[in-house]
Structure 1
């Protein structure tokens, strides 16, 4: 198997990643259009535009929203298919049946159980979003930020300033999460091996309970770090919106900008929150899955070597590439 998760993604699903990239580009190309339509509708209302003009803008807005949602539906279904196909391949790679029914040690059986039932799922699931997700969310961010800066640079800059602290605390917290995720995988593998060897498990009940408590502690540490990160990110978002409303309101009262501009900037900041959060979630998942994939690849090589030693020839199947 390739040594990194991204190389594995390209090797096993490269053609499909290109298709997902095309759909992602189509989705984020429409991301700034609703903001401009909202601005025109609000400004039309404040300037007493005709109902016909407002109605046509509303119809166009609905059409753009429908097109965007249909593209997202196609993208998400395609992602799901790529992910589930990859999960199936990984499970077939390490499934005991794939090794020709040869006996392995209790330790090897435990590793197989963990890999087939649990570890293949997040690795395969990540292949569906590995390239399309950062492309989609990054494209939305660039489109919306570019629109906001072109519309009202200073007001947009005030709101965007609150995203800068996140570039500091997000990587720090994510690194702590990764360390705990790696420790959890190793503990589960060891525990699976002991449980697979029933006599040993019966004589080591206290050790098994200690490992269960250790997994609990690691999981709770991940929860605390993950949701603390979410809290700080949401706080930064609300502070950015509050600042834009305050400064924008003052500029409207001074007659320097129109109400529609403030509405568009605030709506833009709201539209940035989801893609920014999704990018952080993607980076979080990439960091954890990369650790899981390296452990998975190492274990697959170990099982292959173990099967080869038992049979005198290479018994493991090769990875199909599409």
Structure 2
């Protein structure tokens, strides 16, 4: 099997990844259009423009929103199909590897149970977003940022400065999450083996399970604390940027140096930047964790079959 999760996604679902990429491009190309329509509507209202103009702009806004959300629906359903088909393929591969092993120990049986019932879910699920998600979110970021810079480069850069600290603390916190995720996988595999061994030896005491269960609990709590701390810091940076855009933009509007619609579009743009940025960070977090799980999955297949894992069964076309 490929040694990385991206290698697996491209080799086994490459044609579908191309289709998902095209849908993602169509979605992010529409992302900045509502901001411009919003700016024009606000300016038309402030300047007491014609009602007919405002109605047509509002109708255009609604039409773009419907088109964008419809494309997202198709994209998400397609992603779900690719993900579930990959899960099915990975389970089949794990089953074939276990069947080829012949006699196995309780530890091997525990690994097989953990792999087939739980570990393939996030691995297969990630294939649906492996390429389309970063393409979509990065495309939205570039489209919206380009539009904001076009409207007022100084104000846009001032607000965007609050994203810089995230480049520092996100990788540090994510690294700590990854280490705990890997330890959790290995601990749960060991627990699965202990369960099978206890069943074979009729050991009903259960004391052997207390330590690994407590360790999984501690690791999960550590992941929660790190993940939500990261979310807190990211949200604080976003709201600080919005405050700057409102304060400085409001002052410039009062001075007559920019339009009120531009300030509104800037604030809306900050909101449209925050969501894809957060989604991109979440994708990076999931990628780093799933890549660890995938490497452990490949190692488990090699252990179960007693030889390097072969190419997985290709998902259905």
TM-score by length of 1: 0.94
Which residue of 2 is the match for residue 125 of structure 1?
Answer: 125
Contact 1:13 1:82 in 2 (8 A): yes
Which residue of 2 is the match for residue 64 of structure 1?
Answer: 64
Deviations 1:227-262 (A, max 9, x none): 000000001000000010000010011111110000
> How far has the Cα of 1:302 moved from its partner?
1.1
Contact 1:43 1:259 in 2 (8 A): yes
Contact 2:101 2:305 in 1 (8 A): no
Which residue of 2 is the match for residue 263 of structure 1?
Answer: 264
Distance 1:234 1:26 in 2: 28
> How far has the Cα of 1:199 moved from its partner?
4.8
The 5 A counterparts of 1:216-235 are: 216-235=217-236
> How far has the Cα of 1:208 moved from its partner?
1.4
Contact 2:42 2:261 in 1 (8 A): yes
Which residue of 2 is the match for residue 202 of structure 1?
Answer: 203
Aligned to 1:202, what secondary structure does the other structure show? Answer: coil
> How far has the Cα of 1:301 moved from its partner?
1.0
Contact 1:98 1:317 in 2 (8 A): no
Bigger shift: residues 190-199 or 259-268: 190-199
Distance 2:116 2:95 in 1: 6
Aligned to 2:130, what secondary structure does the other structure show? Answer: coil
1:33 aligns with 2:33: yes
Contact 2:133 2:283 in 1 (8 A): yes
Gaps of 5+ in 1: 307-313
Describe the shift of the 1:118–1:74 C-alpha distance in structure 2 as closer, same or farther (beyond 3 A): same
Aligned to 2:257, what secondary structure does the other structure show? Answer: coil
Moved over 6 A (4+): none
Which residue of 2 is the match for residue 321 of structure 1?
Answer: 314
Distance 1:100 1:119 in 2: 20
Distance 1:228 1:200 in 2: 44
Distance 1:50 1:123 in 2: 55
> How far has the Cα of 1:104 moved from its partner?
1.8
Alignment: residue pair count: 314
Aligned to 1:91, what secondary structure does the other structure show? Answer: helix
Contact 1:27 1:68 in 2 (8 A): yes
> How far has the Cα of 1:203 moved from its partner?
7.2
Which residue of 2 is the match for residue 212 of structure 1?
Answer: 213
Which residue of 2 is the match for residue 276 of structure 1?
Answer: 277
Which residue of 1 is the match for residue 161 of structure 2?
Answer: 161
Distance 1:318 1:229 in 2: 37
Deviations 1:252-277 (A, max 9, x none): 11111110000000000011111000
